[in-house]
Each structure stands twice: as structure tokens, then as C-alpha cells.
Amino acid sequence: MSTPVKESTGLRMGRPFGIPVYVSPTWLIVAAFITYSFQPLFAASLPGYGLVGSSVVALLFAVLLYASVLLHELAHCVVAKYYGLPVRRITLYMLGGVSEIEREPETAGREFNVALAGPLLSLGLATIGYLVSAVAFVTGPVDPLSMFMRPPDGLVPVLIWQLWSSNLIVGIFNLLPGLPLDGGRMLRAAVWKIRRDAGTGTLAAAWVGRGVAIAVVVVPLLMNLMAGQEPGIGSMLWTVVLASFIWLGASQSLRVARVRARLPQLRARTLARRAIPVTAEVPLSEGLRRAREAGAGAMVVVDHDGRPVGIVNEAAVNATPEQRRPWVNVGALSRALEPSLVLGVDLEGESLLDAMRETPAPEYLLVERGGEIYGVLATADVNRMFSGV
């Protein structure tokens, strides 16, 4: 699973394949939950271990399960790196793992392959564990149904059984066709390929993801009711948490798709505010008067040779009381003009957003290819384009 880039939190565990791996503190929550939930099963399979011993085995299972989740995420990342996609980190957290791939694959086929790699590895681990159990721990004819339903006796056999059956569930669950699951990314890639539009693929997979979230809650509940059983509080709580994660991920994907649908309309030249040059010592009231007369919406601070050295911050201007404006110089309300705050006026779409993300700021100076000042781009004007998304 991939997510937008965020700042790292948690304990750094290493750099397999050059990819930093972090464990979030929220992993302790799921480790405790797994230990509590699986302790009775291990106690039944290992009668001589007692409460403490079976709890330790359940905790060991939680660690090994998350090691397999790490392998699942590494599979995504290795395929992504094969396609030249930069991978920032892997984070293991309460609901599994996330691979932070910094940009999307360029084709639907590559998107499909990156998404498929994780579930394939989980199913591969399940197959290997099943075969090991069948060969090493089963005496007599192998009954596939019995192997699925009843764990064997003994520490190593029961751990292997739990791991391969859990990886089978992880692999199948991740193939469900809805974002943010891997199956949703595969569905997105398929629709992208058929319709030749990534945005349409995202919308389709995100709406299906919302349906999957509802099904994750409703289907187990109906199965329990049909069997005449009351669902356990713990299992229902976990189901609701999982469904909420899927719903929120699908909703985020919908928002991203809507934002990208508006990207073709995003042009620096169109959004630019006309700007007037002022020297730093000009009083704010005088600068605003000149801007009004010129029909300008921004002020650029220039030196006495006419070279731009700063941009007057609109928020600082608005925060300055009227009675103080004759006594405050525009230079005191400006931000120094760093090279990263100077953007080409022909930037548009994703390229414009990338340039703004590189150095977040309230205003940017827009220049023509020859270096001539064109105007000022306000981040507020860009955000206004995406309001309501």
C-alpha cells in the first residue's frame, strides 16, 4: 500500500534494499491485541505452556506476522524501484504497513505490477508454509480441509500454521478491489488501461473501496446472525476500525482524483496577480495607494537598481491596523526573495504544484523566461481553485 509522503514517526529498524523501515508506536496496540486474541488458541495447542508461556508465544507470533507484513511492503518497493520510482520509507503501524512511493508509475501496467507484488508475496509465503506443514507435520494422507481448520500440536508447527493461514488471509484481503487496498490499485490500473485515463480509474476504484468498507462490517455481521451467534465485541471493534480505514482511504483517493481533474486549469500565468515594484523604505499606506492606482494585487520589494529582493506578505499587510500603516515600511512586511520563491510564469498543472511544494510559501514571484517580472502568485489563489473538493 502506498500513501502520500509524510514525516517519519517511530523507531527506525534498518534499510533493507536501501529503504528506511520505521515501526510506529501504534504497532504496540496491535501487538497487544494480537497477543490477547491469540493467547487462548496457543494455550489450547500448547497445554503445557500455561498463561505466561502461551502469551509469550502469541507475542512472538505478532512479531513474526509483522515481519511478513514487512516482506509484503518490500515486494511493492522492490518492484517500484525496478521501474525507477523513488521509495522514501516503509512504516509498520497499527493496521499493517505503508510504502511511501514518491510518485506514481507512468503506465497502467506498471501500476498493476507494483500493486500485485505485495499480495503475491503474501500468498507465496502462505503456500510455502502450507507445504512445509503438509510435509513435516502431517502423518498419513494430507486432508487439505483439515489442515485449514485445525492447527497442529507443538510450538513450531502451530506457529507455522498460524503464519501461513494469516498470510493467506492478508493476501486475499489485499486483493479486494477497492482503494486503498492493493486490489483497488489493480482495479484502478485496469480501468486506466481500458479508459486510457488514470483519473477515471481512481474514481472507480475509490467508489468500490467505499463499498468494500461497508461489506467488511456487514458481511461478518450477517454471517454471525445467520449462524445464530452473537459477534464478539473485540472482533466487531476491529472490523469497524478496519472498515473505517478503508472508507477514509477511499475518500482520500476520491479527493485526490477531483483535485487532479482540475489540474489542467491550473496555470501560473492565469492566476498571477499584477504587482508593482516598491523600495523597502516606502510606507505601507503609500505602497497600498500605488497598488490601488495601478490595479495591482501585490507588491514586490526592489533595491535601488530595480532588482527584486522580496515579496510583501498579504497576511502581514491585512494584520497591520489602518492607523499604523503610514508608520510601517513595506520592507518590514516582506519575505526575502530566495531563488526557490521565483517561479516561471509558464508553469502549470502538476509541475506548478511540485514547484510550490518544494518551498511552501504564501507568495511567489513569477518571471518570464528572460527574467522579466510578470507578477505574483498567491498560494491562497491556488487553494481557492480546489475549494470544495
Task: Assign 92 to helix, strand or coil.
Answer: strand
CA distance 302 to 286: 15
Q: Which of 7, 73, 100, 372 is catalytic?
A: 73
Strand order across the beta sheet in which 11-14 lies: 11-14, 21-23, 87-93, 96-101
Q: Largest alpha-carbon pair distance within the chain?
A: 95
Residue 182, annotated ligand binder?
Answer: yes
Q: How many CB atoms lie within 10 A of CB 269?
A: 15
Query: Which of these, 80, 236, 45, lies nearest to 158 by C-alpha position?
Result: 45
Burial of 47 (C-beta count, 10 Å sphere; 0-12/13-18/19+): exposed
CA distance 99 to 80: 10
102 in active site: no
Where residue 302 falls (left for φ over 0; alpha for ψ -120 to 50; beta otherwise) is beta
Cell numbers standing for residue 93: 503501524
Roughly what angle, to the nearest 10 degrees, separates helices 27-45 and 155-174? Answer: 130
Cell numbers standing for residue 232: 464478539
Q: How many CB atoms lie within 10 A of CB 139?
A: 5
Question: Which residue stretches of the chain are H helix?
Answer: 27-45, 50-82, 108-136, 144-149, 155-174, 182-195, 198-226, 233-262, 268-271, 284-294, 314-319, 349-358, 379-385
Cell numbers standing for residue 209: 473501496
* Angle, vertex CA 363, rays to CA 358 and CA 367, nearest 5: 85
Residue 76, annotated ligand binder?
Answer: yes
Across-strand partners of 316? Answer: none
Instruction: Judge contact between 205 and 179, C-beta under 8 A.
Output: yes
Annotated binding-site ranges for Zn(2+): 72, 76, 182
Annotated binding-site ranges: 72, 76, 182
Residues with catalytic function: 73
